């Protein structure tokens, strides 16, 4: 699915991104490319959180739906792909000290323990190739 995102830029600020279908889901980047990339990550994390909480994920708005949205003023709309996959619960074994360190790092990153572990594993795999 593709969701509409708004790209905003105020003087002396980074490029901000918000989503009309997901109030509260925002991100930013120093460059246009960074903002675009961060938009995809923010949207997926937001949707995964909604699914974990048992919330319904809305259908994407259409261009007609947002035509009169005042938040679109001084913004550029673009599409962000949300490839939503089903999550699977797993059980792992780790030392208590390792879990404490993972929890510290996850809190610092502003994400859950599970999200931190998955993100770290995937990023490590990408850098090893």
Q: What is the pLDDT of residues 45-69, one digit of tens each?
A: 999 899 888 898 999 999 899 988 8
- In degrees, to the nearest 5, what angle opens at C-alpha 37 toward C-alphas 123 and 118? 30
Q: How far apart are CA 61 and CA 117, in angstroms?
A: 32
pTM value?
A: 0.63
| pLDDT for the residue numbered 127 | 65
Q: How far apart are CA 97 and CA 102, in angstroms?
A: 9
Residues 64 and 27 in one domain: yes
Residues 69 and 104 in one domain: no
Residues 72 and 102 in one domain: no
Domain ranges, residue 43: 1-86
**Lowest-confidence segment of 18-22, 44-48, 119-123 by average pLDDT:** 119-123
| pLDDT for the residue numbered 112 | 83
If one counts every other C-beta atom within 10 angstroms of the C-beta of residue 117, the result is: 18
Residues 50 and 61 in one domain: yes
Residues 49 and 39 in one domain: yes
- CATH at 8: 3.30.160.250
Of residues 51 and 39, more confidently modeled: 39
Report pLDDT digits (tens) over 66-116: 988 888 888 999 999 887 766 688 899 999 999 999 999 988 887 888 888
């Amino acid at each position: 699915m593709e969701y509409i995102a708004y790209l905003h830029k105020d003087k002396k600020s980074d490029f901000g991104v918000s989503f009309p279908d997901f109030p509260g889901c925002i991100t930013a980047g120093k460059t246009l490319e960074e903002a675009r990339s961060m938009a995809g990550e923010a949207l997926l994390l937001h949707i995964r959180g909604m699914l974990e909480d048992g919330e319904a994920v809305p259908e994407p708005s259409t261009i007609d739906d947002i035509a009169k949205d005042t938040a679109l003023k001084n913004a550029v709309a673009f599409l962000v792909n949300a490839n939503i996959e089903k999550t699977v619960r797993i059980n792992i074994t780790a030392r208590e000290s390792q879990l404490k360190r993972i929890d510290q790092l996850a809190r610092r990153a502003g994400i859950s323990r599970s999200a931190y572990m998955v993100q770290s594993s995937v990023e490590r795999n990408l850098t090893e190739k």
